[in-house]
């Protein structure tokens, strides 16, 4: 697995990382055996940056991940968790909760430190609170040695710019914004991130199943014209003897200035396939034709969080 440096942190991270949201049974029931095997297969294939959150499964992802990692040398993996979002509509980015949340995550994960902590989905709150209260609290736990690096995560590009204009962070995590269909992370934000030497983490190469052959979930928020283009692109890939998920993954991990792309599954077979795909060359002709299908809907997305943060 290719490794890249995450901004100014000095962390060497794999181009493809393991997302542990599925361990929280966000999409289906997951056994302890499946969770453990998924984590171990990810590490065996070089996906040694693991991303989780107390929001995933309302704590279950961190608990099962802690069980799966028990007994493994701490230096074998890089651990990223989040804080501030605890349920679909429960957000608490207060100074006090930041301190408590990090301690709870460390307990669940069975470790004495996190490599990265991110304020989770900051577009759902007043961004001024993130700047004035949340980040100072995160710096406090950083000074205590409980976390090595701090950052923010979200969907709208606007919230990253708002924070970065006033504060310094080590890294950001953006999701569904560097894919075959949506490259706003690159087009709108990357120059600012590079100027400030902020590490770039990209999650969601499959854009919530949009760029797979799986049935589209009812909760998928993308416009209908985007969904229709994705179905046409998937059909073209199938006609060419390929899989749109493979092309989507390869595309998302290919940009050298995006340190890592996070993909999640509780299916060890999927994870092994992703590692295999990551090592194979991308089909440039297919990529060109698929991106032509997406051209009329390029960068179309949806609103997320507060209206003023979009």
Residues 144-157: tens digit of each pLDDT: 999 999 999 999 99
Is the full-model pTM beyond 0.85? yes
CATH topology of domain 3-207+247-283: TIM Barrel (3.20.20)
Alpha helices in 70-189 (DSSP H): 95-109, 127-129, 135-143, 157-164, 184
Look at residue 30 in the predicted model and tell me its pLDDT.
87
Residue 175 among the catalytic residues: no
pLDDT for position 25: 81
Mean pLDDT in the chain?
97
- Given this model, what pLDDT does residue 28 score? 81
Enumerate the domain spans of the chain: 3-207+247-283
pLDDT tens digits for 123-136?
A: 999 999 999 999 99
Inform me whether the pLDDT recorded for 90 exceeds 80. yes
Q: What is the DSSP letter of 10?
A: -
Average pLDDT over residues 231-251: 98
Q: Looking at residue 102, what is its pLDDT?
A: 98
Strand ranges for 2-91 from DSSP E: 3-5, 12-14, 16-19, 49-51, 78-83, 85-87, 90-91
2 by Cβ neighbours in 10 Å (0-12 / 13-18 / 19+) ranks as middle
d(CA 259, CA 49): 11
Q: What is the pLDDT of residue 213?
A: 96
> Are residues 23 and 30 in contact, defined by beta-carbon separation less than 8 angstroms?
yes
pLDDT of amino acid 26: 75
What pLDDT, on a 0 to 100 scale, did the predictor assign at position 225?
98
Strands 199-203 and 260-264: parallel
pLDDT exceeds cutoff 90 at 258: yes
Q: Given this model, what pLDDT does residue 286 score?
A: 98
Q: Which of 56, 86, 155, 178 is catalytic?
A: 56
Name the strand (E) or helix (H) holding 150.
Answer: strand 147-154
> What confidence tens digit (pLDDT) does each residue in 116-126 have?
999 999 999 99
């Amino acid at each position: 697995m290719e490794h890249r440096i995450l901004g100014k942190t000095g962390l060497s991270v794999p181009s493809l990382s393991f997302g542990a949201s599925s361990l929280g049974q966000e999409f289906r029931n997951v056994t302890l055996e499946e969770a453990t095997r998924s984590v171990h297969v990810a590490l065996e294939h070089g996906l040694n940056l693991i991303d989780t959150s107390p929001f995933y499964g309302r704590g279950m992802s961190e608990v099962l991940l802690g069980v799966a990692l028990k007994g493994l040398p701490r230096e074998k993996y890089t651990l990223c968790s989040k804080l501030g979002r605890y349920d679909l509509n429960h957000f608490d980015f207060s100074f006090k909760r930041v301190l408590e949340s990090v301690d709870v995550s460390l307990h669940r994960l069975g470790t004495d430190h996190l490599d990265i902590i991110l304020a989770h989905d900051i577009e759902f709150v007043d961004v001024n609170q993130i700047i004035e209260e949340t980040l100072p609290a995160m710096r406090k736990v950083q000074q205590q040695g409980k976390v090595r690096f701090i950052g923010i995560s979200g969907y709208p590009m606007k919230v990253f710019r708002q924070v970065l204009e006033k504060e310094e962070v080590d890294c950001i995590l953006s999701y569904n914004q560097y894919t075959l269909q949506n490259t706003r992370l690159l087009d709108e934000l990357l120059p600012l991130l590079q100027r400030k030497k902020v590490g770039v983490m990209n999650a969601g190469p499959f854009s919530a199943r949009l760029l797979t052959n799986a049935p589209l979930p009812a909760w998928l928020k993308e416009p209908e014209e985007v969904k229709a283009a994705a179905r046409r692109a998937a059909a073209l890939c199938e006609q060419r003897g390929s899989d749109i998920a493979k092309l989507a993954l390869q595309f998302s991990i290919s940009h050298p200035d995006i340190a890592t792309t996070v993909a999640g599954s509780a299916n060890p077979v999927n994870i092994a396939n992703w590692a295999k795909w990551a090592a194979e060359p991308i089909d440039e002709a297919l990529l060109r034709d698929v991106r032509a299908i997406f051209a009329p809907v390029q960068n179309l997305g949806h609103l997320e969080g507060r209206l003023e943060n979009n």
